[in-house]
Amino acid sequence: AQSVTQPDIHITVSEGASLELRCNYSYGATPYLFWYVQSPGQGLQLLLKYFSGDTLVQGIKGFEAEFKRSQSSFNLRKPSVHWSDAAEYFCAVVPGNQFYFGTGTSLTVIP
């Protein structure tokens, strides 16, 4: 069965530090891959997505993600975190029409 794993439930980083949020999936073929962010009191917003081609994908707000087929991973990165990045981050895997979301990683940014 398809599954999405975000192994880090909660991460705390200092403002200005780099960030990497992990996402691993289990699926026979390469699915479509997404990262969404949910800020406090807000709806989910798409950060970036991977369909095919270049395995390094650029998104909004300075985020990027790298698809690694050999590791079945799609980790999200940002070189320098801002306080406004504090939010919940969800990875999603889409093998067909249905989205399978991970349980999310909560990011806290300290000054």
Partner 1 sequence: GAGVSQSPSNKVTEKGKDVELRCDPISGHTALYWYRQSLGQGLEFLIYFQGNSAPDKSGLPSDRFSAERTGGSVSTLTIQRTQQEDSAVYLCASSLGVAGNEQFFGPGTRLTVL
Positions touching partner 1 (CB under 8 A) are: 6, 32, 34, 36, 42-46, 49, 51, 90, 94, 96-104
Nearest CA to 42 among 97, 84, 5, 103?
Answer: 84
By beta-carbon proximity to partner 1, the closer residue of 49 and 77 is: 49
Shortest CB 16 distance to partner 1, Å: 28
Shortest CB 85 distance to partner 1, Å: 19
By beta-carbon proximity to partner 1, the closer residue of 15 and 27 is: 27
Nearest CA to 91 among 41, 40, 31?
Answer: 31
Shortest CB 77 distance to partner 1, Å: 20
Q: How buried is 72 (Cβ within 10 angstroms: 0-12 exposed, 13-18 middle, 19+ buried)?
A: middle
Contacts of 106 by beta carbon, 8 Å cutoff, 6+ apart: 9, 10, 11, 87, 88, 89
By beta-carbon proximity to partner 1, the closer residue of 44 and 86 is: 44
Shortest CB 12 distance to partner 1, Å: 16
